[in-house]
Chains A and B, each alone.
Chain A
Amino acid sequence: MDFSITADQRLMQESLARTLEAAAPLERVRKFAADREPIARDVWAALADFGLPGVVVPEEHGGLGLGLLDAALAAEALGRAVAPTPFLGSVAASVALVRGGSAEQQSRWLPKIASGEVVVGLAIAEAVAGARDGMGVTAAGGRLNGGALFVTDATAADLFLVADTAGGLHLVVGDAAGLTRSDVTSIDLTRRLGELAFDGVSAEPLAAHTLDAVRDAAWTLLAADTLGASEAMIEKAVAYAKERRQFGRVIGSFQAVKHMCAEMAAELEPCRSLVWYAAYAFDDAPAEAGLTAAHAKAHTSEVGRFIARTATEVHGGMGITDLLGLHYWFKRIGLNRQLLGGPERVRRIAARMQGLAA
């Protein structure tokens, strides 16, 4: 028994980081953003070589058969690299199918999700974070109607995991009749968001009560992504502070600057412990999974915002330039914070889980 990641997990994460350095360097991310590519197939292929789309898919369905902790370690590496991938949707759909799919659904979908061949968009924002602009999907007689916003990879996905207003989950194929999909532009151009309109779209339902597990997994992965992006921002700020000279000394020797860096590290390191625990609890301590996932999401978002602004400030004027590119991390953290519930909303849910709020 111990509370640490294994040597294998560390190796996987380091090797993924090296893969991403080659497959998704900042220039590649810039191109993805500038061209508004629907999906970065090359980056996704590099991840598929790793087996990552199927990280939590059982081995008998062609996946790696690992846990959410492994997925979270991968998400952390993706956040560090601000890599454009549909990883979140793949893991969310894997969780939904494993926990709420029939044997037939599992054998039909999981191998294709695991190989990366089927890209999944996640359309659960309304059910988790509340409906905006009259959105919401209703299900009746195997048909979906209505609209979903803030859908990941809406224009590229082959399959959608959709939550209806009653909390039921459905699978919808990307080319389904009556489904209209469009792009939505957010501050974060390292990922694609979109909108879906459903007009009597045929859907296959998953078992009831699966949404909570999908939500917990997604919250944990978003927290891990912010953890990785925040780490990268601290490292960049520290490196800059050790090199940039003013008043005849490196600015990192001024306590005003040093303490900014120390505060960022002191806030972030305990987040790692919470993210690990939430991911561990998801598979092995279900009674604690919801609460720790909620707190991981909300708290890491708060810390992420602090780090995003502070690390930018340490860079002085350069911090806000496009040339430096630090803003990709800033915006990545910004989207992770709002997606599937901002901190206030998520904390409210955390209070409800404990019977502390109605």
Chain B
Amino acid sequence: MFKAFLIKYGEIGIKGKNRHLFENALVRQIKYALKSVDGEFEVTKEQGRIYIEVLSEYDYDEVIESLQRVFGIVGICPVVHVEDKGFDELAKDVVAYLDLVHPDKKKTFKVNTRRAKKSYPMSSMEVSAGLGGKILEAFEEMKVDVHTPDILLNIEIRNKIYIYSKTIPGPGGMPVGTNGKAMLLLSGGIDSPVAGYMIAKRGVKIDATYFHAPPYTSERAKQKVIDLAKKVARFTGPIYLNVVNFTDIQLYIYENCPHDELTIIMRRYMMKIAEHFAKESGSLGLVTGESIGQVASQTMQSLAATNEVCSMPVYRPLIGFDKQEIIDVSNKIDTFETSILPYEDCCTIFVAKHPVTKPNINVIKRSERKLEQNIEDMLRIAIESTEKIVVTAD
């Protein structure tokens, strides 16, 4: 029934002179999202709106689902096309449309007409008023409310006449790629995929870095991270994933530093390595899934200690989230079930019973001095031996 979709985008409409950049990015992302959907689509931008015309058979739910993963879209309006065969025919079509799309008639409505084709013999006001009358005649229960109608019936007069009244919410945010790139520290847990999603929602393209520690972590743990990246890539587009072998560094820290400082020191080196890759690929910041106080390494003191090694800004989109709030998003983006698969990740294998919760940076630095002899070499080897994988949504 629906032969086109009108895409509503809120925020990017107000970006002044950069507006066309945002719109072009959104068109690009929509086209990308529709690539994996069966059917032929044409995406066009005109007069501050984006239209998707459907040129073939297609699956409605599949289209909506994939559009709901395109950041920047605020609403998706499924559109019915009718041929322009004069006002009386149009009125019949509109009544039939309402009957089908809004089975519950105990509603208020308003007709809103836009006339792109100026040669149409009636003015917008005349069309709205005329159709309003016909609708009231057809459905006794319906009432007009021009201020806060339940149903806003839109009529657009173009070469064909477009009818739409439903808006399906989109994910909001801004088109991926309009706000630069960042490097996500991706683990197998619940939080980091959500953090990646949140940053991408603001238009940031993401790459990712994962640390594994064979034989302490398994191939399955690595596959789990790739699977998570795949899920996130449905929103962000392809993700360049760095898989760093962290075993030797981890054991070296374990041998030489106090065990209650292990996690903090480890995370400091992880940040360093991630920052290296970030700079290499032109990222403008690091992204982590940390939230204040969630675990020992995420207290304000611990965050300060890990933050201290980076010159780049570290973005922590979940910083004020409770666990349940993170889980809710994780369920929404379908990463939760993968995240809770029980494979050990490298942060937990040597975790001390009582890790420091209020690390003192100077103390930590003193401990790190014990690593001076080999750590630079080890970092270099870890970076050089990193496996790079491009992860795309299926």
Instruction: Decide whether A and B assemble into one complex.
Output: no
List residues of chain B with CB under 8 Å of any chain A CB. Answer: none
List residues of chain A with CB under 8 Å of any chain B CB. Answer: none
